[in-house]
A and B are shown apart, each in its own frame.
Chain A
Amino acid sequence: DTGVSQDPRHKITKRGQNVTFRCDPISEHNRLYWYRQTLGQGPEFLTYFQNEAQLEKSRLLSDRFSAERPKGSFSTLEIQRTEQGDSAMYLCASSPNRGPAYNEQFFGPGTRLTVL
């Protein structure tokens, strides 16, 4: 088990461009989360998936943001028409649906987005 992986690790884009990030959760973890972390702050919850169903979305997730998990395995987070305020670290986490780690969220290394 290699842990949660995210790709790319770094992304630099110009304002107005679209970007897409990918998250591969730990195998057999059917719960997946996206968080955003800005400089000097803790992570803020964006959205949550149980298998392929997106069950919760934060008000932080504006219309320019969309997340998918089409087959209940990997997930993508797309930001359209990026703005400088979108610059942040985007973190993905996963959890199992049962067992002793049920209440634990395992985080990936994050994707750092810089919008110029």
Chain B
Amino acid sequence: GEDVEQSLFLSVREGDSSVINCTYTDSSSTYLYWYKQEPGAGLQLLTYIFSNMDMKQDQRLTVLLNKKDKHLSLRIADTQTGDSAIYFCAGGLSGYNKLIFGAGTRLAVHP
């Protein structure tokens, strides 16, 4: 079955760019998602990319997809303290309703 892996922790300085990486095993994933979770809260969908795309940009967020290497990344430009949270990548198939999540990357932003 699908497996999604992420590095567990990332620390960046405020104003720098953050890059959070994710690898997945199931090449049939049609959509790949990035969710943000703040302490004690549910998951907030940040962005997602269809598997036939290489890149998607949405304001400060850039998603890159390398299908050959099954690698997904999320770049956050001009990282702010409010970006401190856990970031999850997840894969899903169109019309199939289960999302498979990674364990999450904790982003810490320091002054």
- Give Cα distance in the complex from A56 to B4, angstroms: 21
Question: B107 on the interface (CB 8 Å rule)?
Answer: no
A43 engages B43 (CB within 8 Å):
yes
Indicate the member of B31, B41, B98, B104 with the most A CB atoms within 10 Å. Answer: B98
8 A Cβ contacts from B95-109 to A = 97-104
Establish whether residues B94 and A103, one from each chain, have CB atoms under 8 Å apart when the complex forms.
yes
26 contacts between A and B (CB under 8 A): A31-B97, A35-B99, A40-B103, A41-B104, A42-B90, A42-B101, A42-B102, A42-B103, A45-B98, A48-B97, A56-B97, A56-B98, A58-B98, A91-B43, A93-B43, A95-B97, A103-B48, A103-B94, A104-B45, A104-B48, A105-B45, A105-B99, A107-B42, A107-B45, A109-B41, A110-B42
Q: Is the interface of B mostly helix, strand, loop or mixed?
A: strand
Query: What are the 7 tightest A-B residue pairs by CB atom distance, in nearest-first order?
Result: A42-B101, A107-B42, A107-B43, A45-B98, A109-B42, A48-B97, A43-B101
Binding site for A on B (CB under 8 A): 4, 31, 35, 41-45, 48, 88, 90, 92, 94, 97-104
A103 vs B49: C-alpha distance when bound (angstroms)? 10
Q: Let me know if A108 is at the binding interface, CB within 8 A.
A: yes
Cβ of A28 < 8 Å from any Cβ of B?
no
C-alpha gap A97/B41 in the complex (Å):
25
Shortest distance between the CB of B93 and any CB in chain A (Å): 10
Cβ contacts under 8 Å, A58 to chain B: 98
**A107 CB, min distance to chain B CBs, angstroms:** 4
